[in-house]
Structure 1
Amino acid sequence: MELRIRRLLTMFVMLALFFVALGCEKMDRSLQPEGKPVQNTSFLQDEEATSKEEKIKIGFSMDTLEEERWLRDRALFKAAVESLGAEVEILAANGDDALQVLQAETLISQGVDLLVVVPHNAEAAATIVKKAHLAGIKVLSYDRLIKNAEIDLYVSFDNERVGELQAEAITKIVPKGKYVYIGGADTDNNAHLFKKGVFHVLQPLIDKGDITVVYDQWTKNWLPSNAYANMQEALIANEGKIDAVIAANDATAGMAIEALMETGLAGKIPVAGQDAELAAAQRIVEGTQTMTVYKPIPTLAEEAARLAVAMARGEFIDTDRKVNNGKVEVPSVLLPPIAVNRSNMDETVIADGFHSKVDVYKGETR
C-alpha cells in the first residue's frame, strides 16, 4: 500500500514539473516577435558597450580662432583625429586666459582621454596641466610651449629656426642699415623663440656695427592693431629713415606694411613675416612683403593628432629631442620650417595645396 502511494506521489510531482516547464516556454515565446526564433543578444550588447568604451576622445583647448592660421589648424586636427577612429571636442578662448582655464576644466570634466592645448599665456596654462594631471589626463602642448609645467609632449615647428630664416633672408638684401623688429605677444613662448632666432643672426652684424636695431617692441596679444601702432611709432621715432622690418608673423607684417604704405615706403623697405597666410603670399607676389616662413600646418596637425591618439591609448612616445620649459625637459617633436619668397612660391605653398595659385595670384596668369 505504501509503495503504491509513493509511486502516485512521484508521478504527481513529475507532472507538475512538466506543466511548469511548458508554461515557462510559452511565456518566453510570447516575449519574442512572432515567427522569429529566440536569440541570445547579451554578447552583442556587451560588444557594443565595449566599442563605446574604447572610443578615444581628445580635448582640444585653443587660444584663438580669430586668425586664418588657427581656423586651418582646427579643421585639419579634427579631420586627422577622426580619421584615426577617435573623436575630438574643441573649445577656443579667443585670448582670454581665465576662459581658457575654464574651458579646459570643462573638457577634463567630460572625461577626455587626453588634452591638447594651444596656450594663450605660456605661464598661465600651467594651471591647466596641473588640473589635467590630477584627473589622470596627459597633456600635449600644440605649437606653443606651456612653461613651468610637467607637460607630457610638445609638438611644434623649430621656432628658433623660423626667426633665423627671417633674419637670413632680410640680411642678404640689407646687410647694413637700420632695422625694426616687431615681436609677437610677450605672453607667447613662441614669440620669444622667434625673436631669439632673429637676433642669433643679427647679433654678429650688430656687434660689427653694420646693423642697428632702432625699434624693438612686443605686440600685445598679437593684435594687428597693436602692430600697426608699433610701426607708426617706429617711423615717427626715426623720421621714416629705416631700412628693414622683421615682424613676428604675417598679421603683424601686414599692419607694418599698411603703416609703410601711408608714408609711401611700402615695397621699398624689405619686410619679413611668417605663417604663410594667403594675404602674405599675395603681398609677396605683389612686392610689398619680402618673405614669409611656411610651416606646413597639415603636417603639424596630422602629426599632433597621431601622437595624441597614441598617447591616449597608452602607447609610449619616443622622441630624440627635448625642450626645457623652465621646469622639465619636455619630450618634443619639432618639424622643419621653410622660407618662402616670390621665387619659390609655386614650389612650396602652392605645390602643397596650402593655397591655390588662383588665390595667391588673384586670378592673374603667371
Structure 2
Amino acid sequence: MGRRLAGVCVLLLASVAACGQRGEERGAGLGAVGAVHEGFTVGLLLPAEGPERALFTGALTARCPRCRVEYANAAGDRARQGRQVGRMLADGVRVLVLGAVDPGSAAPWVARAKLAGAKVVAYDRLADGPVDAYVSTDPARAGRSQALALLGAIRRPDKGPGKGPGPVLLLNGPPGDPYAAAVKRSLHAVLDGRVTVGWERDLARPGDAAREVAAALAALGGPAKVAGVCCPGESAEAVAAALARAGAAGVPLVGQGGRTGVLRRVSAGTPTATVTVRADVAAEAAAAAALAVEVAGGRTVYGTATVSNGTTASIPAVLVPPVVVTKDSAAAAPRGAGPEAAGAAVPEGAAGVVVRPR
C-alpha cells in the first residue's frame, strides 16, 4: 500500500513538473494558435519579390526551429493577393504576415482571417482591418532623414550675399496613407523656414511622378531654378528618368525606399540619385518574425509605438530606424552583399519588440 501510494505521488509530481516545463516553454495565452515546441505554419504574403522572404525565413527559424513558412508573392496584383490569403486560410494557416499590395483594400481579408481564428501581422504597409501588430520603418525618422539629406545635398545657384538655395520640389506618398502623412509632417518640420518649397504634390499613383516633375520644372523656370527633389522610393526611378530627360541630371534627388535600381544609382554616384533613405529590411524581417511567434502564442505584444489604421485603434507597432544610403556608405557595404546591404548598421535590439503575458 505504502509503495503504491509513493508511486502515485511520484507520478503526480512528475506530471506537475512536466506541465510546468511545458507552460514555461510555451508561455501561451488564451488565444494561442501555435506553440514553438510543436512548430506551426506562418503565411508570408508579400506584394512583390525581394530579399524579405529569405530574411524572414531565417529569422523565424532562429526563433522557432520547427516552424514553417508558406510564401506567396502577389506580383503587385491586389486581386491575386486576396486569393492567396483565402488559400492559406483554407490550408489551415493561422498566422499571416501580410505585406499588402493595397493596404486600403485589405480590411475584408483581415476580417476574414480573424473570423477564421488567425492572427495577422501587417508587414511594412499598414493594412486596414483588425490587425494584431504592425512592423515598418519609423516614418518620422524616415522623413527627418530625407529632409536632412536634402539640405545637405541641395545646390545653391544664387551666390550673392544673403541668397539662399533655390526652391525644392517635394513629391509625397498617396493622400490618405497614414505612413505617407507622417513622413510628410516630418519633412516639413525640418524644411519649413530653411528652404522654399516651390512645388509639392501628393502622388495618388507612382506613375504620376514623371508628369509632376515636368509640370514643376515648367512652373519654376526650368532645371536651373530647382535646388533639389525629394520623392517616395516607388517613384524615384521615374523621377530620376524625368529629370534626366529634362536636362536636370545635376539636380540632387533624395528618395525613400530600397528599390534595387535606386540603390544602384546611389552606389554609382549618379547625380539623379544622391541619397536614398531605405528600410532596414533585415531588422524589419527579424521584428516581423518575433511578432509572428508572440501573437501565435496568444501573448500581448508591446512595440515601440501604437498606431491606428482608420478601422482599428492602438495597434502595437514596431517602428524600425531607417538606413541612409550614400555613395560612400554603399561603397563600404560587404563585397557581393548586393545594394540592399548598403547603409549604416542598426544596433542589435533596435527593433524593440517587448512582450508581456496576457
TM-score by length of 1: 0.71
Could you say which structure has the greater relative contact order, defined with CA pairs below 8 angstroms and 6 or more residues apart? 2
Gaps of 5+ in 1: 1-50, 359-366
Q: Deviations over 1:75-118 (max 9, x none)?
A: 32233334532112222333333333332122112111211111
Query: 1:54 aligns to what SS in structure 2?
Result: coil
Larger Rg: 1
Q: Identify the residue that residue 337 of structure 1 maps to in structure 2.
A: 322
| Superposition deviation, residue 238 in structure 1 | 3.0
With over 3 angstroms needed to count, the CA separation of the structure-2 counterparts of 1:291 and 1:356, relative to structure 1, is closer
With over 3 angstroms needed to count, the CA separation of the structure-2 counterparts of 1:286 and 1:219, relative to structure 1, is farther
Match of 2:196 among 199, 211, 215: 211
Work out whether residues 121 and 187 of structure 1, in 8 Å CA contact, stay in contact via their aligned partners in 2. Answer: no
Gaps of 5+ in 2: 1-34, 155-163, 343-358
Q: Identify the residue that residue 119 of structure 1 maps to in structure 2.
A: 100
Work out whether residues 232 and 257 of structure 2, in 8 Å CA contact, stay in contact via their aligned partners in 1. Answer: no
Q: Identify the residue that residue 303 of structure 1 maps to in structure 2.
A: 287
Q: Identify the residue that residue 354 of structure 2 maps to in structure 1.
A: none
CA separation in 1, counterparts of 2:285 and 2:337? 15
Q: Identify the residue that residue 163 of structure 1 maps to in structure 2.
A: 143
Q: Deviations over 1:199-243 (max 9, x none)?
A: 2322344xxxx41232424051x34xx433332232233342322
1:76 maps to amino acid: L
Q: Identify the residue that residue 73 of structure 1 maps to in structure 2.
A: 52
CA separation in 2, counterparts of 1:352 and 1:150? 41
| Superposition deviation, residue 181 in structure 1 | 1.8
| Superposition deviation, residue 134 in structure 1 | 0.8
With over 3 angstroms needed to count, the CA separation of the structure-2 counterparts of 1:253 and 1:320, relative to structure 1, is closer
1:218 maps to amino acid: L
CA separation in 2, counterparts of 1:296 and 1:228? 27
2:255 maps to amino acid: G
Q: Identify the residue that residue 12 of structure 2 maps to in structure 1.
A: none
With over 3 angstroms needed to count, the CA separation of the structure-2 counterparts of 1:120 and 1:290, relative to structure 1, is same
Is 1:100 matched up with 2:89? Answer: no
Counterparts of 1:242-281 in structure 2, within 5 Å, are: 242-249=226-233, 251-266=234-249, 268-281=250-263
CA separation in 1, counterparts of 2:338 and 2:176? 28
2:239 maps to amino acid: A
1:96 maps to amino acid: D
Work out whether residues 209 and 238 of structure 2, in 8 Å CA contact, stay in contact via their aligned partners in 1. Answer: yes
1:160 maps to amino acid: A
- Pairwise CA RMSD: 2.9
Q: Identify the residue that residue 182 of structure 1 maps to in structure 2.
A: 171
Percent identical pairs in the alignment equals 29
1:183 maps to amino acid: N
* Matched pairs, number: 292
CA separation in 1, counterparts of 2:238 and 2:336? 27
With over 3 angstroms needed to count, the CA separation of the structure-2 counterparts of 1:247 and 1:73, relative to structure 1, is same
With over 3 angstroms needed to count, the CA separation of the structure-2 counterparts of 1:356 and 1:96, relative to structure 1, is closer
CA separation in 2, counterparts of 1:74 and 1:356? 14
Work out whether residues 121 and 188 of structure 1, in 8 Å CA contact, stay in contact via their aligned partners in 2. Answer: no
Q: Name whichever of 238-247 and 279-288 sits farther off.
A: 279-288
CA separation in 2, counterparts of 1:276 and 1:168? 18
| Superposition deviation, residue 58 in structure 1 | 0.9
| Superposition deviation, residue 135 in structure 1 | 0.9
Q: Identify the residue that residue 44 of structure 1 maps to in structure 2.
A: none
Higher helix share: 1
Q: Identify the residue that residue 117 of structure 2 maps to in structure 1.
A: 136
Work out whether residues 77 and 101 of structure 2, in 8 Å CA contact, stay in contact via their aligned partners in 1. Answer: yes
CA separation in 2, counterparts of 1:55 and 1:165? 40
Is 1:282 matched up with 2:261? Answer: no
| Superposition deviation, residue 300 in structure 1 | 1.1
Is 1:229 matched up with 2:218? Answer: no
Work out whether residues 42 and 68 of structure 2, in 8 Å CA contact, stay in contact via their aligned partners in 1. Answer: yes
